[in-house]
Structure 1
């Protein structure tokens, strides 16, 4: 079943609505600081952060991960650098690098005591000024959690901020039950499809099994019996389409995305040609 909604039929943003729904259940600061996920709390067995002594090291470090964090410190023994190391040890799955090289700082246009998060999915960079004495390991951890958008990002009160701030205008939401035995295979196919639209569409996972997401299903007029479902939308004008499917396939995701992209391109072309037609 395909359900379309034209732009402007509701007076609020899709993302703003989802964001507010999530925040009514859990604030970003509470969720970022209180996650009990094993992947978020287990210390890494690799020594962190990795020392980046030159530009080549830094470039290889950034290109080698979906999300990479670098601390730029002229003096690596400052209290700010100590807080950076503490945060690095608390986020096992995100690589942290540290550089005190003047050449590296200059290459990335970073001032001293700056932490930069680099992400591949939208080729974006987010900076945090560590010169503020209020910034500690806990706030640095929250900064990373809010901004660590990946090839497929799970939507929650923490990642909601990064999703809203992404430069990508097209977003594809997979609404499914993570507890389903079919979930690993669905995610494999969804992630494979995401590779094809890197830099163009932000792929997002929403777990229908979570009670906090029930109102999101209601927003898209979906019932759990209709899942899994895909929802694609254009963030500037909120135009979106919802598709319920029997099962996820790479080809189905491609067809759905391509059809929507073509539709929005035709709409843009028509809008650009309208003033010319009116003059004629």
Structure 2
């Protein structure tokens, strides 16, 4: 399945990482590596230019530089030296990208597929960030993420962003089916979706477990659509 090319904003869940997971971002001790520093983005034009210049750009948006997530971010900078990293504490920059808290955000030119050498299964929460239930849904989504550390990369996609239309189309979702979960495996392009009314750690876990076991919900939907309707 061909991948559409577009700019996509993805929030990576690094806040609240356990020490074991945070340690994965540290530099290998195989040998000395020249230190790499993120680019400071002091205003909106600088951030826009930085993102436009790279196929993959990761920006740490921080309101507080003393939190543990900042150390995790700097560890990522050192480990992935072929990726462009930026950092900003400017309130106008955070507002421009609808950042309301400390976040590490990835901007990528290719819609599907993140760091193929890392975690190969990605779970996307496709949801309008302005919905009243967004914060509670994110809390539950993060709770479920802890159950699949090292197995599945949990990602938030803001459905109202223009660029997100390519992702929604890729997973053959309709606007009426959102919010939805979409899961994707990079090695074979296998995927599945689950529209929902209320996200919970339980239904996220069940959906992920089913995918890991090879049970695809969309196969049931496709078979139902192919079954001819018979009038009685």
In structure 2, distance between residues paired with 1:64 and 1:173: 20
1:213 CA displacement: 1.1
Q: What CA RMSD, in Å, does the superposition of the two structures yield over aligned residues?
A: 4.4
Q: Does 1:117 align with 2:71?
A: no
Counterpart among 142, 147, 150 of residue 191 in structure 1: 142
Partner of 2:171: 220
- Residues 177 and 161 of structure 1: CA distance in aligned 2, closer, same or farther (over 3 Å): closer
**Unpaired stretches in structure 1, ≥5 consecutive residues:** 1-10, 24-30, 32-61, 75-79, 98-115, 130-138, 143-151, 265-280
Deviation sequence 1:50-95 (CA, Å, 0-9, x none): xxxxxxxxxxxx769589678xxx9xxxxx98x9497499954553
Partner of 1:55: none
Tell which deviates more after alignment, 162-171 or 207-216.
Answer: 162-171
Counterpart among 119, 141, 164 of residue 86 in structure 2: 141
Contact 2:6–2:108 (CA<8 Å) still a contact in 1?
no
List 4+ stretches of structure 1 deviating above 6 A: 66-70, 158-162
Partner of 2:114: 163
- Residues 183 and 67 of structure 1: CA distance in aligned 2, closer, same or farther (over 3 Å): farther
1:164 CA displacement: 3.5
Counterpart among 126, 133, 146 of residue 182 in structure 1: 133
- Residues 141 and 217 of structure 1: CA distance in aligned 2, closer, same or farther (over 3 Å): same
Q: Does 1:263 align with 2:214?
A: yes
Counterpart among 123, 126, 133 of residue 80 in structure 2: 126
Q: Size of the alignment, in residue pairs?
A: 165
- Residues 196 and 159 of structure 1: CA distance in aligned 2, closer, same or farther (over 3 Å): farther
Contact 2:179–2:195 (CA<8 Å) still a contact in 1?
yes
Which secondary structure does the structure 2 equivalent of 1:222 belong to?
coil
Deviation sequence 1:93-129 (CA, Å, 0-9, x none): 55359xxxxxxxxxxxxxxxxxx7349xxxx932369
1:235 CA displacement: 1.1
- Bigger radius of gyration among the two: 1
- Residues 258 and 68 of structure 1: CA distance in aligned 2, closer, same or farther (over 3 Å): closer
**Unpaired stretches in structure 2, ≥5 consecutive residues:** 10-18, 43-58, 88-102, 216-232
Contact 2:182–2:193 (CA<8 Å) still a contact in 1?
yes
Aligned counterparts, 1:89-128, within 5 A:
92=62, 95-96=70-71, 117-118=75-76, 125-127=79-81
In proportion to residue count, which structure has more helix? Answer: 1
- Residues 166 and 158 of structure 1: CA distance in aligned 2, closer, same or farther (over 3 Å): farther
Deviation sequence 1:6-52 (CA, Å, 0-9, x none): xxxxx32xxx43xx1327xxxxxxx9xxxxxxxxxxxxxxxxxxxxx
Deviation sequence 1:160-211 (CA, Å, 0-9, x none): 7982345111111111001111100010000000000000001111110112
In structure 2, distance between residues paired with 1:153 and 1:252: 26
